[in-house]
C-alpha cells in the first residue's frame, strides 16, 4: 500500500486509518485482534486510538 508523509515529519503512513474507538466496548478482544492482524497484513500502519468519539469517558 502506498504511504504518505505525515505533515512535515519523517513519518510515512497509509492513507487509510483504522479507527479503534469501539474496541473493548462494542468489539470484543478476539475480534479486535483479528481486525488488527488483518489490517497489518494489508499494510495499514495508521491507527486512530482515540476513545472519545462514540462512548463517553468514564
- Spatial distance between the Cα atoms of 14 and 46, rounded to a whole number of angstroms: 6
Confirm whether 38 is a catalytic residue: no
Q: Is 43 left (phi over 0), alpha (psi -120 to 50) or beta?
A: left
List 7, 29, 49, 53, catalytic entry: 53
Helix (H, G, I), strand (E, B) or coil at 5: strand
Instruction: Give the active site residues.
Output: 53
Amino acid at each position: 500500500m502506498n504511504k504518505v508523509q505525515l505533515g512535515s515529519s519523517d513519518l510515512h503512513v497509509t492513507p487509510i486509518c483504522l479507527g479503534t474507538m469501539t474496541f473493548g466496548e462494542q468489539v470484543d478482544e478476539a475480534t479486535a485482534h483479528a481486525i488488527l492482524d488483518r489490517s497489518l497484513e494489508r499494510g495499514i500502519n495508521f491507527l486512530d486510538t482515540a476513545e472519545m468519539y462514540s462512548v463517553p469517558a468514564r
